[in-house]
A and B are shown apart, each in its own frame.
Chain A
Amino acid sequence: MRASQAGVKQGMPIAEAASLLDRPPTLQPTDKEGDLLALQELVERFERFSPKISVENDLVAESLFLEIGGVVRIFGSEERLAQEVSNVAKELGYRAWIAVADCVGAAWAASRYLAQENEPALIRSGEREPLLALPIEALRLAEKTALAFRKLGVETIRQAAAIPRDAIKARFGEEILTRLDQLLARRPEPTQAVAPASEFFAKWSSEYPIRQGQELAAAIAALLDRLAGELRERDRGLVELLCTFVEEGGASFERGLRLCEPVASPRDLARLLALELERSPVRGAIGEIRLEAIETAKFLPRQRDLFASGSHRDPTKLGELLDRLGSRLGRENVVRPVLVDDPVPERSFLLVPVSARKPRRRKPPALPSPRQRPIRLLVEPKSIRVIATVPDGSPHVFSLSSKRHEILAAEGPERIEAAWWRGQTIRRDYWRVETTTGARFWVFRRLQDGAWFLHGYFA
């Protein structure tokens, strides 16, 4: 919000955007996968407006498509329906641009170029004029293609539609024709509906609310039994489970469970859920419990190996362990490291929760030698006092919390810099120092002010 107020726009070069702001911006890479997930989560909220909702997964992942063919009359009119969708989005804290049209392409274009925030745009069935006046980008083109059109002086869809089809096909390929036809409802566009979230669902409710303890555990166990039974019938295992507890007064709260591998055993599930509840206990009297399988996956009971050594590599065992650790310690605390190509040590790796999808194997950055990087890196570098032989030279003695370390050998400097557009400016000279006792440390001098810090231990 603040960035947009300062005049930052989508597609602007980072340097230009940064110059508009009074302090260096925090940058994050576009996360299409994350966008997709967020959209998928939103689907559930709009389920009452449409029997079939799909998520855009094309050049960008920004839109939800709601098929409203049979439901308009329930809401009175298309305007009323669109307005209600808009209200729901607003309540959820989203800024939404909404359009109603007779095909996906037209709705996409109208939502971006005709709708205002919270003011839905309507394109009547068969209406073509407003669409033809739109800029060429409204065709959902790759940036390169749109640019090529503009270079030819083709700026609106009307102009593009006027070019003979053969010529377009020869110059830009089949895609443009498809896009044109999809916009003008001349070609159907299949969408992939998101499966309703609550395919597997179990509910328990009682007029006599229960409190935490054995009763609660028993109720959950019974629900899990039911849910697991349904799952097993269809050879599916649970990957993500949502538990909703409704208190006597009507307040409800949720507890989630995300697993590394599909699990179908009610006992295992109960154990994991118990750990989760131990971590964040349920308080108050519970009148209703709902269990909902958010995500399931094909589950085939594995054949157990007869030999002891076989179990040594059993991947389900590892999955069980990770689930248990994640339930008690928090999923964000059970991680796999992934190296990132960034020279700044604290930014050179990511810790990805193991229950998230396995990270794609990227080309690993060039590996240092074991003597170059310490096994322990301090989260916050510690300030140290250093005596150097010459002002910019190698450290000679350093003291850390009043303990003096005589340096026997210092290797360096290894200069590590990060440009200002990555946030904070970083300019450091790193030294690997070895003390007279053989202990090894990783220290650096901040080039801006010459201050010294301890950053790691070759522990």
Chain B
Amino acid sequence: MPRKRSPSAAESLPALREALLSRSERGAFAAATVSCGAELDRAWPQGGLRRGSLVEWLGETEGCGWGTFAFAAACQATAEGGALAIVDREGTFFPPAAAALGIDLTEIVVVRPASDREALWAFDQALRCPAVSVVWGRVESLPGRAYRRLQLSAEEGGTIGFLLRSTRTLSQPSWCDFAVGVRALPTGGDLRYRLEIMRSRDGITGRSADFEIDDDGRIRTSDSHDENALHLVSAVDDSASPRRSERTGDEKSA
């Protein structure tokens, strides 16, 4: 597939953004979005997850709920078909919890890479595969070039990548559609989370909403949340766009 991807340094940011939008829309799956359930879809900048895109899930600390929440969202997104690929670099993925969140374990493939390099390679391969719907995994170190490759692979396969990352990585260049911060709210038992859009391709960030995971693993809007009070829209966040000098590595035809 011929693809032009060497933005010149002279291009301005808006032009670049537009080019990015228009080019990806030509992809076979670009128009298609995948639903994570009506209630969660409303929180996303594009009203759903775009096939062929990457989403960053950002968390502050272990136990803050990013992985759990992203997994619950991935379960919903795979309900339309396709496999859920899990890149388990740390070897800590706990299948009973995954089953509790409502996934059919026969639709899961767990990949256990031995190094960060292998993990990135596996992530990339899985994204390229049209039979996969979502790839879920922790990716901390992600150089811009490798990131771009992941994004192209997702586009090629029409898949969605869920990258679990630390909030600290927010300052790094990114090729995700949007990044969402997840924070578990102290409730004394219920699984309740606050989601905040921290980076978005269309530049709108700061929106937040609260969600709960119920006993069947479904994501529901949390009643406790006063939507108006927290519906904030911040200024355009420039860190959302990739560095201009960023050039993509040639895709390996392997």
Query: Bound state CA distance, A335 and B88, in angstroms?
Result: 11
Question: Could you tell me the distance in whole angstroms from the C-beta of B227 to the nearest C-beta in chain A?
Answer: 20
* Given contact pairs A335-B112, A337-B105, A372 touches B65 in the complex (Cβ within 8 A): no
Interface residues of A in 266-311 (CB under 8 A from B): 271, 308, 311
Chain A contact residues, majority secondary structure:
mixed
Contacts of A320 in B (CB 8 A): 129
* Given contact pairs A368-B100, A434-B188, A439 touches B28 in the complex (Cβ within 8 A): no
Mark the stretch among B89-97, B141-149, B231-239 that contacts chain A.
B89-97
Contacts of A372 in B (CB 8 A): 100
**B21 in contact (CB, < 8 A):** no
Contacts of A185 in B (CB 8 A): none
- Are B132 and A457 in contact, with the CB atoms below 8 A? no
- Are B96 and A313 in contact, with the CB atoms below 8 A? no
Interface residues of A in 152-173 (CB under 8 A from B): none
Query: Bound state CA distance, A409 and B71, in angstroms?
Result: 24
- Are B188 and A441 in contact, with the CB atoms below 8 A? no
- Are A376 and B111 in contact, with the CB atoms below 8 A? no
Which of A337, A345, A378, A434 is the most central at the interface, judged by chain B CB atoms within 10 Å of its CB?
A337
**B126 in contact (CB, < 8 A):** yes
- Are A333 and B106 in contact, with the CB atoms below 8 A? no
Interface residues of A in 251-272 (CB under 8 A from B): 271
Q: In the complex, what residue of chain B is closest to A330 when comparing beta carbons?
A: B114
**A24 in contact (CB, < 8 A):** no
- Are B191 and A370 in contact, with the CB atoms below 8 A? yes
- Are B66 and A437 in contact, with the CB atoms below 8 A? no
Mark the stretch among B41-49, B178-186, B198-206 that contacts chain A.
B178-186
User: How many contacts between A and B, using CB within 8 angstroms?
Assistant: 193
- Are A375 and B130 in contact, with the CB atoms below 8 A? no
Query: Bound state CA distance, A440 and B189, in angstroms?
Result: 9
Q: In the complex, what residue of chain B is closest to A411 when comparing beta carbons?
A: B189
- Are B65 and A458 in contact, with the CB atoms below 8 A? yes
Mark the stretch among A48-56, A192-200, A321-329, A384-392 that contacts chain B.
A321-329
Question: Could you tell me the distance in whole angstroms from the C-beta of B234 to the nearest C-beta in chain A?
Answer: 23
Q: Given A336-B108, A370-B217, list of 14 further CB < 8 A pairs?
A: A312-B130, A312-B158, A317-B131, A320-B129, A325-B111, A345-B96, A349-B96, A373-B97, A378-B92, A408-B188, A434-B188, A438-B183, A440-B184, A459-B64
- Are A374 and B62 in contact, with the CB atoms below 8 A? no
Query: Bound state CA distance, A364 and B93, in angstroms?
Result: 18
- Are B129 and A337 in contact, with the CB atoms below 8 A? no
Contacts of B213 in A (CB 8 A): 370-371
Contacts of A441 in B (CB 8 A): 63
**A354 in contact (CB, < 8 A):** yes
Contacts of B61 in A (CB 8 A): 437, 439
**Per-position contact with B for A394-417: 1 when CB-CB < 8 Å, else 0?**
000000000000001101000000
Instruction: Say which residue of B94, B131, B189 sits within 8 Å of A377 (CB atoms).
Output: B94
Query: Bound state CA distance, A278 and B108, in angstroms?
Result: 27
Q: In the complex, what residue of chain A is closest to B129 when comparing beta carbons?
A: A321
| Residues of chain A at interface, number, CB under 8 A | 59
Query: Bound state CA distance, A439 and B190, in angstroms?
Result: 12
Query: Bound state CA distance, A369 and B28, in angstroms?
Result: 38
Instruction: Say which residue of B63, B101, B129, B184 sits within 8 Å of A317 (CB atoms).
Output: B129
* Given contact pairs A312-B82, A325-B125, A457-B63, A337 touches B110 in the complex (Cβ within 8 A): yes
- Are B110 and A339 in contact, with the CB atoms below 8 A? no
Contacts of B65 in A (CB 8 A): 438-440, 458-459
* Given contact pairs A369-B100, A370-B191, A321 touches B81 in the complex (Cβ within 8 A): no
Contacts of A313 in B (CB 8 A): 81-82, 131
Query: Bound state CA distance, A314 and B82, in angstroms?
Result: 9
* Given contact pairs A337-B95, A457-B62, A370 touches B215 in the complex (Cβ within 8 A): yes
**Per-position contact with A for B6-41: 1 when CB-CB < 8 Å, else 0?**
000000000000000000000011000000000000
